[in-house]
Each structure stands twice: as structure tokens, then as C-alpha cells.
Amino acid sequence: MDQPVRRDQLAETVERVVNETPVFDIHTHIYPASFADLCLRGVDELLTYHYLIAEVCRADRSVPPEAFYAMSLTQRADHIWKTLFLNGSPVSEALRGVLTTLKRFGLDVASRDLAAYRAFFAGMSAQEHIDRVFEIANVSHVVMTNSPFDDVERAYWKAGAEQDPRFLAALRVDALLDNWPKACATMGDQGYDVHAHLPRESVIELRRFLADWAKRMDAIYLAMSLTDAYQYPTHTVEGRVMQEAILPFCREAGMPLALMIGVARQVNPALKLAGDSVGKCDIKAIERLCAGYPDVRFLVTLLSRENQHELCVTARKFPNLMPFGCWWFLNNPSIIEEMTRMRLELLGLSVIPQHSDARVLDHLIYKWAHSRAIIARALTEKLAAAMDTGWTLTESDIRRDVRRLLRGNFIGFTGIGHRMSE
């Protein structure tokens, strides 16, 4: 039988257990090796991540975005390395992440030898690289972001690209609300008779489209990224798409709907992917969705820091709502720590504290290394407060709690336990 953990052993025990527990990363943008060019990896991809692009365009205004994007991948990486690492100290979270990743691979960051780093990554095949990253990051599974509206990605699915069981699919359908006429044309090209004014027959075809792609991908949830201006319900064709097709499909298929709300798109178009910003959303839209569809499960992450307390309070009222992750501009240690503590205080263990949002394979390493440390500190603080009342905890208790946070809550909420060896 486990002995109670002593108060002076608590921090070490929690940190060890958090590091030993495999993560189920519920939202990424990475792909298996069979998706070839979509499988981004290596130091040049790390250096040209859009977080660093925004930073370099601030640091060196002599190279405007148009000139930066005219460079080759190697030239862009060289420019970022020189500007952000050699001409100044790497203090931002995005720059620290590159260093953490290199260090975890066993590379000497003090050497500042970009050529040596490139040679190291060039020596691994895509599959070897994936295996190594999953081992270092201690990640068991990731959920991809998979759009049937993306011409390049769609070709891999239709060609029957070999699937890696560690990579699970999420059916991404932003296009249905972002650009409905274009989405109709894309679905029409795929043989679905969907018209822009959305007659009843088109609703049926739209649901068929969702069902067909969910089956092809073996998707575990349906996902949408929405702007800060998103409202529900609305008397628009996009509102009907949500109310008459997406929500009924999720209910009938038993498939959760992941909503990522708060992006202000292309406030600086010259920066391309790095040109999106953030806005506060209306929490009432989430309340109406959860109240109107109690039999649909909603995974929700919001981009604005100002929305986080409202989201926690709303989750207290609706058990079909699961807050997850510290998304995009919130993925900074000070904010992650604040959000994790607040969620534990308001929702206990019934949250998913983090996801990586990785766009480059190697992001799994630094994003989870940094987040695990913060999650361990926040959980230690809350468990210590319980122990200070006289409550006792064993290591088994701590392992149970950590497993819920890092994997069990997602597996249970989505109902995919039958696919896992839990």
C-alpha cells in the first residue's frame, strides 16, 4: 500500500510524475511522414515559425515582410538566426523554445553553430525524426488539424496515405463559416450538390459531406477556428450551416465540436500567417450553444486573456463544455501559469490544461517541456493547500490526478477510450 507523500516531498513527486506521464496532445498542426511536404521538421522550420517571423520584422525593419517572404527557407532561417539570436539575447518564449528543443536533442546551444544543427537534422529520416521527438517529448498521441478544403492535404487523404496510429485526425471545417460560397464550390467539385442559398437538399448534402470526410479520416472531433466577432445564433446562411448541419451532425455522430474563438484575421496582411491578431469574444455565444445542445460536447479554447475567467465560470454551469489549452498568444509562461491556477481553483481537475498547437514536429519538445514545468508548479501549490488542512496524498493519488489532466480528461470527454490502451 502506498505511503502518504510527505509535505517536503510533494514538489519533487509531482514534478516527477508530470514528467513521467505520457501526454495526449489534443490539438496540433503536424502530420505523419506519409504526408511528405506537410510534415514540417528541423531547425530551419523551427526558425521560420510564424511567431519568429513577427518578431524579426519588428527587430529589423530594413527587411520588410515582402522581402523576407521572397527569400528561400534557408535564407529566412539565416536572417532570423542572425537578427534574433546573434544580434540580441533570445529572451522571448518563441526563441527560448528553439534553444530548449536543440538542447533536448543533445545539441550544444552555446556553440551557436547553425550549420551543425542543420547537419544533425538532415541525418534523420522523417520517421526517425518523428520517433525521436515523441520519445523526447513523452507524447503518446497527437490530434492533427485536417481540412478537406485544403487541396494539398485532400490529395494525401484521397491517395490513401499511410496512417501512423499516433496521429489522430480532427475534421477542420472553418471554411464553412469563413467563406461559404467558396466552400460550396469546393464541395461541388467533390461531387456534393450544395448550393449557396442552402435549400433543404443542400443541408442533407452538407451533412453527407461531413459524414464522408469524418469516416475517411476516422476523425475524433470536428473543429472550427472562429473570429472574435463570432455570434450564435445568427440569421445568416452561415448561422444556418451551424444550426442545421454542423450541430445536428455532431449530435447524431456523437462527435465533439472543438471551437477555437478569438482570432482577428489578417490585421497585417503583409505578414501572412504571422499577420493574425486577437480579440475578445462574446461568451454568450458559448452559453447559448451549450444550453441549446446539451447532448453535444464542446471543447473550447479562447484566444483572449480577458475571456479566460468567463470561460471557467461558464464551464462550471455546463458539463458538456471542456476548456482546453493556452492557445497561440496565450502560450507564454506567465499567462499559462495564471490560467492553469485559475482553472484548478474554479474547475478542479476537470480541465485539459494544455495543447501544443505545434506546426513543426519539433515544437512538441519545447512546448511540452515548458508547460509540464508550469503545470507541475500549479498542481503542487493546490495539492499542498489540501495537505495543509491535514489531507493525505499518496503517489498513486498524484499519478491518477496527473493522468486525468494530461490525457484522461480528453479521452473520457471524447469517448475514444476504446481506441486507447488505457
Render pLDDT for 81-139 as a digit per residue (tens, 0 to 9): 999 999 999 999 999 999 999 999 999 999 999 999 999 999 999 999 999 999 999 99
pLDDT band at 418 (very low <50, low <70, confident <90, very high): confident
> Is 145's pLDDT higher than 90?
yes
Q: What's the average model confidence in pLDDT over 14-19?
A: 98
> Is 75's pLDDT higher than 60?
yes
Q: Is residue 374 part of a domain?
A: yes
pTM: 0.97
Q: What's the average model confidence in pLDDT over 390-395?
A: 98
pLDDT band at 12 (very low <50, low <70, confident <90, very high): very high
Q: What's the average model confidence in pLDDT over 315-338?
A: 98
Q: Is residue 61 part of a domain?
A: no
Q: Is residue 109 part of a domain?
A: no
DSSP assignment string, 81-146: IIIIIISS---SHHHHHHHHHHHHTT--GGG--HHHHHHHHHTS-HHHHHHHHHHHHTEEEEE--B
Q: Is residue 82 part of a domain?
A: no
Q: Is residue 202 part of a domain?
A: yes
Q: Is residue 174 part of a domain?
A: yes
Q: What's the average model confidence in pLDDT over 278-300?
A: 98
pLDDT for residue 1: 63
Question: pLDDT tens across 213-259, in order?
Answer: 999 999 999 999 999 999 999 999 999 999 999 999 999 999 999 99
pLDDT for residue 2: 87
CATH of the domain at 227: 3.20.20.140
User: What Å distances lie between residue 191 and 209, 212, 220, 292, CA to CA?
Assistant: 9, 12, 24, 32
Give the distance from CA 249 to its chain's centroid: 23
Structural domain total, the chain: 1
Range of the domain at 223: 7-41+125-419
Mean pLDDT of the chain: 97
pLDDT band at 421 (very low <50, low <70, confident <90, very high): low
pLDDT for residue 255: 98
